Amino acid sequence: MRTMPRVLIVEDEPPIAELIAVNLRHNGFQPTWAMDSETAQRELDDQLPDVILLDWMLPGESGLALAKKWRKDARTKSVPILMLTARGDESDRVAGLDAGADDYIIKPFSTKEMLARIRAVLRRRSPEMAGGVVAIGLLVLDAATHRVTFDGQPLKMGPTEFKLLHYFMQNSERVHSRGQLLDKVWGDHVFIEERTVDVHVKRLREALGTAGVLIETVRGAGYRLTAQPLAQSAAATPVSS
């Protein structure tokens, strides 16, 4: 029998939480509700969900603070987080993504949009469980163990950055537009802006450290992962005698 995906709803308003839970149950999900940060942490300690729906404004620790904390914890860092927020400004959305959220849902939202975004993060997560090792120079990604190393040193990154890197490495030297990356990494029928790609590429470069130079911005076109950025840079630099 197929197991229903577990969704942890962290929301302090009971009517909203109940509405979300009812719609999730009717669409094949198993919801659990936590109304504050302490309850949410107890739920996570008891059993990891497949997805977290996290309200920005909570009593006690904010959703933003919880996302940052869970991303730093080895046990919870790979659980997809969807931020629920009434804060629709770009700066707020970017702050949520920078805190570790994989996506955001602006209140009020439709049931169809919520379900589409949840299914999208679950689709993005599933390829990470598949086997296969990809190597570009000293950069190595093991999809089965969800590990990335550069020159033998382990690198830490979130689930979306891992999926983005996996796609780049499987399609190295090719230029990918933001729209193409949204389709391939986030999945179609997902209602997010192309700006989201820039935020996650920035986070991926930071996670890669010195290997971040492998990901190039192609002005007016998109992004590309190349195996020899330093060699290309050196070749373009005039040599003085």
Task: Give the pLDDT confidence score for residue 185 in this predicted structure.
Answer: 83
End residue of a domain, out of 63, 97, 126: 126
| Region for 220 from its dihedrals, namely left if φ exceeds 0, alpha if ψ lies in -120 to 50, beta otherwise | left
- Total-model pTM: 0.57
Total domains in the chain come to: 2
Task: Give the pLDDT confidence score for residue 54 in this predicted structure.
Answer: 94
Collapsed DSSP state (helix, strand, coil) of residue 178: helix
What pLDDT, in 10s, does the model give residues 119-133?
888 877 654 444 578
Task: Give the pLDDT confidence score for residue 136 in this predicted structure.
Answer: 87
CA 123 to chain centroid: 12
End residue of a domain, out of 126, 141, 160: 126
Question: Vertex 53, ends 66 and 16: CA angle to 5°?
Answer: 115
What pLDDT, in 10s, does the model give residues 45-72?
888 898 999 998 888 888 889 999 998 8
Same domain, 180 and 144: yes
Answer yes or no: is pLDDT of 233 > 70.
Answer: no
Contact call for residues 45 and 67 (beta carbons, < 8 A): no
- Measured from the Cβ of residue 112, the count of other Cβ atoms closer than 10 Å reads 12
Same domain, 139 and 115: no
Distance CA 173, CA 226 (A): 5
Give me the domain span that covers residue 94. 6-126
Task: Give the pLDDT confidence score for residue 184 in this predicted structure.
Answer: 80
